[in-house]
Structure formats: structure tokens, C-alpha cells
Amino acid sequence: MVTTPDPAGTPTVLVVDVANVVGSVPDGWWRDRAGAAERLLGGLAPLRGRTIAAPDGDLIRLERILAVLEGRSNLARDPYAGPSEGLLEIARSPGSGDDEIADLATDLVAAGHRVLVVTADRGLRARLPAATAAAGPRWLNALLGRA
């Protein structure tokens, strides 16, 4: 459930494993990976500053949204200038997105932020700091109306 921008809820940084979430919906993403990623980014942007129900039911306010792109595609390499520009922070990893996500989560937790990582990757989840919450793509897809 998404509400209007609201100061209520625990400030949280949402970190999204874009490739993992894009690949979780069989909508033809494999024919246009960059387009599928851009559609996901466009859906994420309006969530910034909103108070939502976290997977555990607690209210959180999405203070920041970090979308992690990986690989050698143009979308992962080039500056993002889509409709979400300025609302999302894009982290580009030329190699392993998992390494980038684990490092980001570690740094954010060390800086005192509450972090929620969206990924279905069990190996990645095992690498996250203990204070990091994790949710699967199903939670985010439901929130975005991506079935």
C-alpha cells in the first residue's frame, strides 16, 4: 500500500537488485532488457518520499532509492536520463551487481541508515549485514502493480 508523501514511518533506504527484479516477471524482458529495466526504474521513482508497508508490516518512509544496474549494457554504463532522473540513485556495476549491493548495504548500515534490499538471491542475502532487511521481488512487484 502506497500513501501520499508523509513524514511518518521509519526512514529507510531501498536498495533494488534491478536485474533480479526485472527477471522475476515473465513479461518478455529478455527481448529488451534495457527497456524492461527502464520501466522498473520509472515505477520506482514515485515511491521516493512515500510511506509504505514493509514486508513485515511496519510502516517505512522511502527516504532514498538505490537501483543497482550491472553488466556491460548501455543502461548499466551510460548516465540515466529517464523520467526518474533525480528521484533515484543509480549504482552501476561493470561486474557483479551482488558485490555492489553488499558493499552499499554495508556502508549504509555503518552510516546508521535502515536498509531494505530487494532481491531473491539467497547468496546475496547471506552476505548482507545483520541489520539489513531483505524482501523478495514479489513484495516490490505487488507494490508496483507488476504481476
Domains and CATH numbers, the chain: 2-144 (3.40.50)
Angle between helices 137-144 and 33-44 (to 10 degrees): 70
pTM, two decimals, is: 0.87
Q: How confident is the model at residue 122 (pLDDT cuts 50, 70, 90)?
A: very high
Q: Is 68 helix (H, G, I), strand (E, B) or coil?
A: strand
**Grid cell 511496519 in the structure block, residue:** 58
DSSP 47: G
Measured in whole angstroms, the distance separating CA 93 from the mean position of its chain's CA atoms is: 14
- Our separate counts of H helices and E strands in the chain read 6, 7
- Taking residue 132's Cβ as centre, other Cβ atoms within 10 Å add up to 22
pLDDT at 6 > cutoff 80: no
DSSP 25: S
For residue range 16-75, list pLDDT tens digits in order. Answer: 999 899 988 888 887 888 888 888 998 999 999 999 999 999 999 999 999 998 876 545
Q: Quick one: CA dihedral 108, 132, 99, 40, positive or negative?
A: negative
